[in-house]
């Protein structure tokens, strides 16, 4: 059941408003605003077994409590938006963009923090890159081990007493992530 339906049900049961707010884990002011909106739409009173539909309750709350739209704030880096976007797409970080704009434009007066916030917005709009996504593999103990070899060049082999091509052997256990590494010549 939705919180608005619970609010109506508890009110119809005669539960005090403070207890309703506590049971629904909302502040008393929020509970009061919802209650007043539902009361003005005449949805609060009625039979306990005939609760209004969720769509009707949400519509009444949205009608009486319109969503507050924050005042529009223009960024201090807005005049240089195109330049910043171009530099960011090329891989420049906020500090590099800030330094370049400060050196190239005499009238540039934005702060490094403003550039960082703007770059963060650009990064969020872009979304995650495939190389940023990591999928952790969970396995049962003793089930999986990942093995890899890599060349490390020529090293002295104490058994044959010669310089030989050496390889790095690594094994990572899937469950504990315990790693074993050894230099091998064969």
Q: Tell whether 18 and 58 lie within a shared domain.
A: yes
Is 109 among the domain residues?
yes
pLDDT top residue among 66 and 175: 175
Q: What is the mean pLDDT of the chain?
A: 90
Is 73 among the domain residues?
no
∠ CA(165), CA(170), CA(173), 5° rounding? 165
The confidence score (pLDDT) of residue 72 equals 65
What integer is the mean pLDDT of 121-148? Answer: 88
Other C-beta atoms within 10 Å of 115: how many? 26
Tell me, yes or no, if the pTM score tops 0.85. no
The answer to whether 145 touches 172, Cβ cutoff 8 Å, is yes
∠ CA(136), CA(174), CA(134), 5° rounding? 15
In tens, the pLDDT along 14-52 reads 999 999 999 999 999 999 999 999 999 888 888 888 888
Say which residue the tokens 């009486």 belong to. 64
Residues making up the chain, counted from first to last? 186
What integer is the mean pLDDT of 3-7? Answer: 91
Q: Which of 29, 64, 99 is the last residue of a domain?
A: 64
Is 138 among the domain residues?
no
Is 119 among the domain residues?
yes
Is 110 among the domain residues?
yes
In tens, the pLDDT along 116-131 reads 999 999 999 988 888 8
Is 69 among the domain residues?
no
**Domains: count for the chain:** 3
The answer to whether 151 touches 129, Cβ cutoff 8 Å, is no
Q: Tell whether 10 and 41 lie within a shared domain.
A: yes
Confidence grade of residue 149 (pLDDT, cut at 50, 70, 90):
very high
Is 72 among the domain residues?
no
The confidence score (pLDDT) of residue 1 equals 65
Q: 54: number of CA atoms within 13 Å, CB side? A: 4
Is 139 among the domain residues?
no
CA distance 108 to 14: 62
Q: What domain range is 173 assigned to?
A: 145-184
Q: Which of 88, 108, 131 is the last residue of a domain?
A: 131
């Amino acid at each position: 059941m939705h919180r608005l339906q619970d609010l109506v049900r508890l009110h119809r049961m005669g539960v005090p408003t403070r207890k309703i707010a506590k049971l629904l884990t909302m502040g008393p002011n929020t509970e009061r605003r919802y209650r007043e909106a539902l009361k003005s739409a005449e949805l609060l009173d009625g039979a306990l077994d005939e609760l209004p539909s969720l769509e009707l309750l949400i519509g009444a709350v949205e009608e009486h409590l319109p969503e507050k739209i924050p005042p529009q704030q223009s960024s201090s880096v807005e005049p240089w938006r195109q330049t910043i976007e171009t530099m960011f797409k090329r891989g420049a970080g906020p500090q590099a963009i800030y330094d370049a704009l400060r050196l190239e434009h005499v009238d540039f007066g934005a702060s490094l923090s403003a550039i960082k916030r703007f770059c963060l917005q650009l990064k969020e709009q872009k979304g995650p890159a495939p190389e940023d996504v990591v999928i952790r593999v969970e396995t049962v103990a003793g089930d999986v081990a990942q093995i890899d070899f890599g060349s490390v060049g020529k090293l002295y082999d104490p058994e044959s007493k010669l310089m030989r091509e050496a390889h790095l052997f690594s094994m990572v256990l899937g469950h504990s992530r315990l790693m074993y590494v050894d230099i091998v010549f064969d």
